[in-house]
Structure 1
Amino acid sequence: MVEETAGKERPGLKTRAESDLSLEVVILIVFGVFMLLFGVLLFRIHTGELPYAPDSTYGLFLVIVSFQIITMGRTPFGDLRRSWAVILLGVCTAVIGMVACFIPGLLAEPVRILVGILLSAGGASLMLQLLFSRDKARLWLKAPGILRQLTLACILVYLFSIVLGLVTLLPGITTDPQTAVLLIIYGISYFYLSWCIQNANRAYPPGERTA
């Protein structure tokens, strides 16, 4: 009887284990969905079939960024200790984003510049940390398997962050269809990164990692 009951519980336990995504992975998936959806819709926005408020889009992006800052202490420029100052920074970012969403036109130019800086400068900062930190790409490339893919995924995300940051800061350097393609690839890169992180966490559980 005990064995029969245990056998019935195993599928449920397995399902829960397989769907146990970390908060970091979930936020990355949300970023991926945001970029992918924006890229797909931008084709129809370009033809005039759909209305578009750029500052509302930038505001929503800032709100998503704020979640990452508040919950994990991860900023577009790198990881910080999750102190009250960092949480306050995240809250302020969320407020700016919400105001931009609620009142289109009020913060149109400031949020565009802010998002452009976060993407371009943040992507460049993260790329430098990835390439020159001893515990990142230098270490990951020595190990076979998922860590090498993780390095590639990070490079893709950071590279497209820089490119799209420049596109945001310098409107007109690309056409809308070109920007849409970049956004779609950027979104797919986020999905790839989230997949790599999830598998890396399974292969190298935090409790088993050595310093």
Structure 2
Amino acid sequence: MTPNASTATGGTGLFGEASLPLSIALIIPVGVLLVLLGLLLFPVNQGLIPFSPDGQLGLLLVIMAIQMLALGETPVGQYRRSWLLIGIGIVFAALGIFSCIVPGILTDAIRVLLAFLNIAGGAILLTKRFLPMLQGTGSAAELAHLPPIYKRLLGTLTVLNVVAIAFGISMLLPGLVPGMVIAGIVVINGLLLLSLASILIKIG
């Protein structure tokens, strides 16, 4: 191996290769996006800065499309990266990009789509997680014997699903929930995603 090759593949500290799985690497920017978006919504609701809902919705849809195309992850669970799923991801990406570039045309359609996906995804994942316990096929004793890190993971995922449902409802009925509450929900959603990424890094 030549010195140049060693330098390219080696390195220490900040210049060392980051062993970060792609799934976690995609969670982190989404979390940062939601935290930043939520913080910006506070001055937006006070009329201090302008805001483009089309850009927000389009960007969220594009990120969702990237997760579908790269990992097969959807708001309602993870699936095999079939051609159908890839096709849906491409359509979502196209809609999101169009919304960012041409505002005002797809705003309501994308808002309803994202609201439905968040509500359905949160409800489905919560049902999958807790329905076996309600049916008696799972027990609280099994949960009690889980390592602390897995209990924290389960708690984070549960709260994340509940917040996703609340976020979806706020998007579906924008006039029902005050703007400041929506901003808080978005910030919490982002912080939960960052916490989830941190837990997954420790487990991995």
Q: How does 1:40-59 map to 2 (within 5 A)?
A: 40-59=39-58
2:12 corresponds to 1:12: yes
Q: Which amino acid aligns with 1:102?
A: I
State the 1:129 CA deviation. 2.0
2:33 corresponds to 1:30: no
Q: Which amino acid aligns with 1:12?
A: T
Q: How does 1:34-183 map to 2 (within 5 A)?
A: 34-132=33-131, 142-183=145-186
State the 1:15 CA deviation. 7.4
Q: State the alpha-carbon separation in 2 of the partners of residues 114 and 129 from structure 1.
A: 22
State the 1:30 CA deviation. 1.3
Q: State the alpha-carbon separation in 1 of the partners of residues 81 and 145 from structure 2.
A: 30
Aligned residues: 191
State the 1:87 CA deviation. 1.1
- SS of the counterpart of 2:88? helix
For the aligned residues, what is the CA RMSD?
Answer: 2.5
Q: Compared with structure 1, are the counterparts of its residues 13 and 141 closer, same or farther at alpha carbon in structure 2 (3 Å cutoff)?
A: farther
Q: Which residue of 1 aligns with 2:189?
A: 186
Q: CA contact under 8 A between 1:153 and 1:196: conserved in structure 2?
A: no
Q: Compared with structure 1, are the counterparts of its residues 196 and 140 closer, same or farther at alpha carbon in structure 2 (3 Å cutoff)?
A: farther
TM-score (norm. length: structure 1): 0.82
Which is bigger in relative contact order (C-alpha 8 A, separation at least 6)? 2
Q: Which amino acid aligns with 1:128?
A: T
Q: Compared with structure 1, are the counterparts of its residues 198 and 137 closer, same or farther at alpha carbon in structure 2 (3 Å cutoff)?
A: farther
Q: CA contact under 8 A between 1:141 and 1:151: conserved in structure 2?
A: no
Q: Which residue of 2 aligns with 1:5?
A: none
Q: State the alpha-carbon separation in 2 of the partners of residues 133 and 14 from structure 1.
A: 44
Note the residue ranges of structure 1 that are not aligned, 5 or more in a row: 1-9, 202-211
Q: Compared with structure 1, are the counterparts of its residues 21 and 165 closer, same or farther at alpha carbon in structure 2 (3 Å cutoff)?
A: same
Q: State the alpha-carbon separation in 1 of the partners of residues 98 and 170 from structure 2.
A: 23
Q: Which residue of 2 aligns with 1:209?
A: none
Q: CA contact under 8 A between 1:131 and 1:137: conserved in structure 2?
A: no
State the 1:16 CA deviation. 3.9
Q: State the alpha-carbon separation in 1 of the partners of residues 201 and 122 from structure 2.
A: 21
TM-score (norm. length: structure 2): 0.85
Q: Which amino acid aligns with 1:181?
A: G
Q: CA contact under 8 A between 1:35 and 1:186: conserved in structure 2?
A: yes
State the 1:170 CA deviation. 0.5
Q: Compared with structure 1, are the counterparts of its residues 159 and 145 closer, same or farther at alpha carbon in structure 2 (3 Å cutoff)?
A: same
State the 1:133 CA deviation. 6.3
